[in-house]
Structures are given as structure tokens and as C-alpha cells.
Structure 1
Amino acid sequence: MRLAFFVNDVATEVDEYTTTRLARAAAQSGHEVWYVGVGDVDLGESDGQLVARAHAAEFERHDTLEAFMERIKERDAERIVMDDLDALFLRNESIDDLQERPWASPLGVVFGQMLKARGVTVVNDPTSLTRATSKLYLEEFPEKIRPRSLVTRDPKAIERFAGDVGHCVVKPVYGSKGRNVFMIEDAGEANLAQMTEAVLQDGYAIVQEFVDGGEDGDARIFLLEGQLLERDGKPAAFRRVPTGGDQRANISKGGRSTPLEIGGAERGIIEAMSEKLVADGMYFVGIDVIGDKVVEINAESPGGMQSVERLYDIDVCPTIIEALERRTRSKP
């Protein structure tokens, strides 16, 4: 399988992240693996083909993640025809480019859609990903598995919602890593105006009813082709617990990960989401769960495999690559 990982910038990739683990698993399995940055693509010089200045990712025996990534960055870029790929794994985070490089933000799905039309297997599906990168995507799933919510740019509407439901969370519709996520106690929140202003600077806000138990963190659960991702009977899932006085459990905000036992509530959520995720081509996603509610769907470059490996002493990335290989083989 000829496989490319599409990232924001090869030079800024981090060895510990999930993308590196996926690429290493693919290279270790004998696949031809490449890294392509958002700004590394040309169109037009080769009879309309998409051509990339790509960095080869080759596995060497006893490679650590650090050595594997360091060698990728040190290699000179080579020109590859992306039309000839078997699969493209979209791992760029468009929100990271939105402020500093707005031109780069939409190009993952744009190039992905072009290559999908040319017969390349693209994951996650670039057409659905246009919607799935937004927190609005959660609103397309059954009401029973998501908290009551409001999407708006009206500060007064946020105030009314807080007055109606009480304790709630406000955050940008397009956002990640816990940026501009605020807890609102009620409509009388002293800093409500400042919180609302900060969130609305990023566009639309989504306000969600606070789910009981959220003060203790949330669960990150990885799904592959609409099912719980597992390897050797161990789940790719963990609980994220906030530390200090910050109730945001994001690992990037200092949250710590602990083991998670998958129970009836989690399996019920997965069952309720599975059919739509598969229909939308959401091959690999991470969902954030509190109790019996999904509070967020991570469809664009979901991460956290380092926590899974540390907690369960298992690498589930080969399972993801094996499923992708089967998917490419099944195409006409």
C-alpha cells in the first residue's frame, strides 16, 4: 500500500503524537509511507496530476518514535504523484492554521476531495469532514446521547440559555485543545460577558448543558469504522482527569489519563453513533463522553494514542493500518 499522511507542516510534527505512531505502524508493516505538508502540493505541471514534495517515512529495526521522526525530517523531499497513492490519511488540524495561515486551513479537505474523485482512498472522508470538523456535527446525532445545547452568535441568547438550564459550558464551534472553553454557573455569572466575548471572537459559540460528573473529567474513546477500537481485547479508551483548579480535562491543559472500563453506557453510545459514522465515512474518530452523553466528536486528527500505550502497554495503531489496508484492497 502506498500511503501518505497529510499534515500541517512536516517540520513541526511531534514524535510522541498519534500521527507518528500510525506512520511507524504502517512503515513497520512494509507499506510505502510518505509525509506531505499542506504547502507541499503542486497541480498542473504533470498533466493535471497532484504532485507533492514528500518526505519518506522508512522504518529501521529498533526505531524509537524520536529516531523515526528525526529521520523523516532530515530526508530531502522527493516528488511523488499523489494520484498514484492507494490511501491518504488526513492528519492536519485545520483549526491550527486558521489564525496564522488561513490559506492552509481548508486545503486538507480540498485536496482530499480531489484525490477521492481520482480513486484514492481518503480517510476520514473529506466531504463529510467539512461538517465533522465543527462541533455542530454532534447535533446530527440522536438527542439521547448529547447534552442540551445552543449554537449562536448572540450574547443575549447565551445569557437566556444559561438562565434556563443553569450550569453549562460555552466554547467555540471551531476550536480545539481547550482554547476559550468556559464554565458558566448560571445567568448571574459575574464574568459571563467577558467569557462570551472571548468565545465569539472565534465565530459561533456552542453552549452545552453541564453533564453531571463533568467536574471529574471525561472519557476519550476511539472508534474505528463505527466500532470500539480494540487490540488483544484491550480498548483504545481512557479517562481524562483535570488537575489543579482547571476543570478542562484536555491533556494539553494538564489533564492526566487513567484507565477506562467500557460499560453499558459507553456501548450504548457507540451503538447509537455507529451507523451514521460509517455512512459519513468517519473511519477513525475519538469521542469525548461524560456519563451517557457525548460532549464532542474528534474527527480531524484525533489524538491520544500515547495515553493508550502507556496505560495498557499496547500499540493499537497496527489495527488501524490493517483496517485501512483491507479498505484499499476492497476498492474496484
Structure 2
Amino acid sequence: MDPIESIRYQKDTTLALMLAAQRRSWQIEYIKQENLFIENGKAMAIAQPMTVHSDPTRWFSLDTARSIGLSELNVVLMRKDPPFDNEYIYSTYILEIAQKNGLLVVNDPRALRDCNEKVFATHFPQCCPDLLVSRNSDKLRAFHNQHQDVIFKPLDGMGGAGIFRCKKEDPNVGVIIETLTNHGKQTIMAQRYIPEITKGDKRILMVDGEPVPYCLARIPAKGETRGNLAAGGTGVAQPLTDQDHWIAEQVGPTLKEKGLLFVGLDVIGDYLTEINVTSPTCVREIDAAYNTDIGGLLMEAIAKRLENA
């Protein structure tokens, strides 16, 4: 995970998951990305036994760091936030070595590499709005001309970073396309604007292919297009709609097949827009609103996987 001293206690999903694991009397080992390594073909880590607390002034305590083989553990949760850069990929290589020796990794390191959070959604075209993935400026301009109101976004961003809305006859279309594609060197996504964003960008959490019955609608701030909480959006927990359940049914079997035990679907209106596989959030907000125990659901799913291994 990212440095635990830097998390936001009230909102951090990783902390919620660790508290759930600890309630099962599972021992928690804290590992930062830079402390993963390979030694003589063995996947290793510098790890610290950790205790977590439901205390906003002191939410963790750490024991002495030491080197361990990852295969000594039962399960590793990979909860490192993007950017999805080369260092992230190298981390998945290390985790995959341990996985081949029987370690359960959540989420599967191969799926983390294969399932880009923007592009993976396009595997379910029946669920998606009209979209284009390209770095060709003529194609991107033509898509904008066709739909008149379009969202352009990078394929590797998070928290709403680098997202632009271009309306009809927007004079900045050219420079936005040039900037996001780095003059045709980087592939981006263009997506038809969905007006229902004003009612929220819904985060639907999936545990082992099944949806949590409540989601968090992230409603954009006034004058904003992005609902991301990191971009100033307001979170409102609410039950899933029939369409939300249908989307979850379309995606769920593939998630199970790929070893993606904990995933966040982003849904605007009736459409799937992204599939978050690296470090899905919003657990704390949904738990607080509906007294759910999403961390407990994930730990139960992990326990079943371990029993059946």
C-alpha cells in the first residue's frame, strides 16, 4: 500500500480492509512498494507486523521490519494507488513469482497488468456509451464533430485528473487533443458526454464478481463535470438500480475468471464508464451510510478462496 501515515483516516478503504482482516484475528504485514524485491529467484519483501486501530488520532502501530519471503504469507492485497507506471508493472512481476508458488494475490497481478481501468470497460460494449480509443487527431476530431459534446481523458489517470469536456464548437478541441495525446504519441479515450453525470458518477463495488447492494454516487461540484471525490465531488450513498444490477451481471463473471476479487465499477446514468482494479475506494462512505461491512465481505471471499486452494 501507499504510506499508511499519509492516508485519510475517515475515507481510506485500505484501512477498512485491514480492520476487517484484524477482526478475523489475521496477522497484518505492512509492505510498501519500494520494499518488494527478488532475491535468487524468490519473491521477497521488507515487511512490518502491523496493528490497526479505529482511532482517528492513532490508526496504526508497527513492529520491527524484517525481510520475509512472500510465499510465507497466505494472501497479499495489492492496494498501491496509480500511477500505473513501470514501477507498478515491476511490482506485479514480483507478486506473480509469489503467486506461482501458491500465494493468493488480490487482485491477480496479471489482471492488474492486462485490465487498464479505462480500456477494460470496452470489453463490455453493451454496457458502454459511444466511445473511441485512439491517438489519431482526425479520428478524435471526427468523434467530437459527430457527438458535439464529448469527454476526453487519458488512459492512465485517476481522481479525475486530465479530464476535459468539449462542447459543440469548443475552440479548445485541437489543443486539448494535442495535449492529451502528446501530439499523437499517446492513446486517449473520447466518450460521449452523459448528462446524467449531474446525478452522480456511481461507484459500484464488486466482491468476487457480486455487487454490494449499495453504491456511492459522486456528485460533481457546481460548475464541474467530474464527480470524483478528489475533484471536489460529494458522495451520496444509495441502493443499486435495476440497470446497475444488470451491468454488474454483465461484468461479474469476467471479474471472477480473471481473479479480480475487489473491483469498482463506475456508472453514469445507464452506462459503464470505467472498471477500477488497482485500488477501488468508497468502502467507508457506503459502510457509514448503510451499516454494511464491505471489508468483511472481501475477507470472507478471500477465506473461501484459501479454503478451496
Equivalent residue number for residue 25 of structure 1? 20
Equivalent residue number for residue 93 of structure 2? 110
CA RMSD of aligned residues (A): 2.0
For residues 139-179 of structure 1, the C-alpha deviation after alignment (integer angstroms, 9 at most, x for no partner) is: 112x2210111111122221111001221111001111000
Matched to 2:232, the amino acid is: G
Counterpart selection for 1:258 from 231, 236, 246: 236
Residues 102-141 of structure 1: matches in 2 within 5 Å?
Answer: 103-141=86-124
Matched to 1:54, the amino acid is: A
Equivalent residue number for residue 232 of structure 1? none
Q: TM-score, normalised by structure 2?
A: 0.92
Structure 1 residue 211: Cα displacement: 2.2
- More deviation, 198-207/132-141: 198-207
CA contact (8 A) 1:50 1:83 kept: yes
Matched to 1:168, the amino acid is: V
Distance (Å, rounded) in 2 between the aligned partners of 1:125 and 1:263: 29
Counterpart selection for 1:287 from 258, 265, 286: 265
Equivalent residue number for residue 190 of structure 1? 171
Number of matched pairs: 306
Equivalent residue number for residue 81 of structure 2? 93
Matched to 1:50, the amino acid is: A
For residues 58-111 of structure 1, the C-alpha deviation after alignment (integer angstroms, 9 at most, x for no partner) is: 246xx3255233x23xx432222211111111111231x64xxxx523133212
Structure 1 residue 112: Cα displacement: 2.0
- More deviation, 10-19/109-118: 10-19
Does structure 1 residue 40 correspond to structure 2 residue 35?
A: yes
For residues 261-298 of structure 1, the C-alpha deviation after alignment (integer angstroms, 9 at most, x for no partner) is: 21211111111112111111111101111122101111
Matched to 1:195, the amino acid is: I
Distance (Å, rounded) in 1 between the aligned partners of 2:167 and 2:199: 16
CA contact (8 A) 1:219 1:237 kept: yes
Equivalent residue number for residue 4 of structure 1? none
Equivalent residue number for residue 299 of structure 1? 277
Matched to 2:175, the amino acid is: Q
Counterpart selection for 1:245 from 194, 198, 223: 223
Structure 1 residue 13: Cα displacement: 4.2
Counterpart selection for 2:189 from 172, 188, 206: 206
Say which SS state the counterpart of residue 260 (structure 1) adopts.
strand
Structure 1 residue 10: Cα displacement: 4.9
Counterpart selection for 2:59 from 62, 68, 80: 68
Taking a change above 3 Å as real, the CA distance of residues 328 and 236 of structure 1, as seen in their structure-2 partners, is farther
Matched to 1:84, the amino acid is: E
Equivalent residue number for residue 70 of structure 2? 82
Distance (Å, rounded) in 1 between the aligned partners of 2:259 and 2:57: 32
CA contact (8 A) 1:40 1:52 kept: yes
Distance (Å, rounded) in 2 between the aligned partners of 1:94 and 1:218: 20
CA contact (8 A) 1:133 1:300 kept: no
Distance (Å, rounded) in 2 between the aligned partners of 1:295 and 1:43: 36
Taking a change above 3 Å as real, the CA distance of residues 11 and 59 of structure 1, as seen in their structure-2 partners, is closer
Structure 1 residue 9: Cα displacement: 4.1
Tell me, which stretches of 5 or more residues in structure 1 are unaligned? 1-6, 230-234
CA contact (8 A) 2:264 2:277 kept: yes
Tell me, which stretches of 5 or more residues in structure 2 are unaligned? none
Q: TM-score, normalised by structure 1?
A: 0.86
Equivalent residue number for residue 228 of structure 1? 211
Taking a change above 3 Å as real, the CA distance of residues 131 and 65 of structure 1, as seen in their structure-2 partners, is farther
Distance (Å, rounded) in 2 between the aligned partners of 1:218 and 1:211: 10
